[in-house]
Structure 1
């Protein structure tokens, strides 16, 4: 991800606020900003939670980041992005790493990495910052694509909303490991227990059916085939 011309980084430890305090399963929580950044860097789709016209709405969208802000984009006609700068929002990113299959259904669970970012985002209106934010977003999803594809036109920029949400207030939780009932009474049941890992990988690029013959995908796309996503 391109980090050029970015603001100063935030403190290495996440602050504890009423919204980010780990009240349950505290051992799974982390205050390390590096853990937050690792979770954000491993994905490219987030869920934006915002109240629109008095009703909660959770919208999936792509994102990018620098060291201080998360950038979200969408259409200027989108109700959720239009409402977001006027009230607090919550953005979540979650990666599922597998199922935890215990001896009892009660002890079943999920191994995961998750982050929640709280705040009131602002609409990016400065043209240079908007281009920079869109570049971060594009490069976050597909490194190398910003310099390969055509850049946005003025008309396209005008039709796009870009939000900047500070990473100052965030919460991180992860769950790893096997079931926790291996040393309890259920261990005598003779039931298999363990984890079922889940791994997503990028496939082979599939060309647009309307693409003329002889145009091959660039290395920054072909090179991702077979690699892990997340």
Structure 2
């Protein structure tokens, strides 16, 4: 099965709950608007791809990219997990953004402020050359914006050695937590220790040039001016 990246969505269509995408624990933190799903996926760089292989669960971290309502994953054509997914094994992709640690008055109510998304479905291999190149552009520009125009593009041999999967965002759940601790009233009244949130701030450090670069090679704007997603 070959996938062509043609899915388009405005983000206005709500997420449709299914038995495996329905948030049960902490359901008040779930979100059903598709824009919230896009926000989580677009604000993170690493996902975890999960599937069952040879009767055992396998979970692998990998980079990804989103185009409209399709999530693209890539790896070596020899990767057993990608081969299994391309052959139709059901997959799950999880993405989490940590925004802070919540310090409560009780250990029980310690928590995290976060945004998370879980996508379920069956991935399709992207094999048509133009579609495959476009999918790799999406992944590259998500992780390292500006690189597709700056670096050498994949050769035919490199494309042949790279497997690309397309996972539709038809079945997904989103869960968020924000704000202060949710302490019990007796703890609020009787505990004098500090409680609150320690926010997590993310930033890029100064670029570190490759030692093989010629002296004086400038850092390109798409690296020097990089913003977090």
TM-score, normalised by the number of residues in structure 2: 0.93
SS at the partner of 1:22? coil
CA contact (8 A) 2:7 2:70 kept: no
Instruction: State how 1:26-175 maps to structure 2 within 5 Å.
Output: 26-85=27-86, 86-175=88-177
Structure 2: 5+ residue stretches without partners: none
SS at the partner of 2:142? helix
> What is the CA distance between 1:142 and its match in structure 2?
1.8
Match of 2:218 in 1: 216
> What is the CA distance between 1:198 and its match in structure 2?
0.7
**2:7 and 2:18 mapped to 1: Cα distance?**
23
Q: Deviations over 1:84-142 (max 9, x none)?
A: 12211100110010111001100100110000000010111110100000000111112
> What is the CA distance between 1:202 and its match in structure 2?
1.0
**2:69 and 2:38 mapped to 1: Cα distance?**
10
**1:210 and 1:51 mapped to 2: Cα distance?**
42
**1:118 and 1:189 mapped to 2: Cα distance?**
43
Mapped pair 1:25 → 2:26? yes
Match of 1:13 in 2: 14
- Between the two proteins, the alignment pairs up a number of residues equal to 222
Q: Deviations over 1:19-66 (max 9, x none)?
A: 111212111000000000011110121000011221111000000111
**2:222 and 2:20 mapped to 1: Cα distance?**
39
Q: Deviations over 1:132-182 (max 9, x none)?
A: 00000111112211010000001111110000000111000000010111x
**2:80 and 2:156 mapped to 1: Cα distance?**
22
TM-score, normalised by the number of residues in structure 1: 0.93
Off by >4 Å, runs of 4+ in structure 1: none
Match of 1:186 in 2: 187
> What is the CA distance between 1:214 and its match in structure 2?
2.2
> What is the CA distance between 1:193 and its match in structure 2?
0.4
SS at the partner of 1:201? coil
**1:36 and 1:186 mapped to 2: Cα distance?**
35
**1:47 and 1:148 mapped to 2: Cα distance?**
28
CA contact (8 A) 2:103 2:110 kept: yes
Structure 1: 5+ residue stretches without partners: none
Mapped pair 1:205 → 2:207? yes
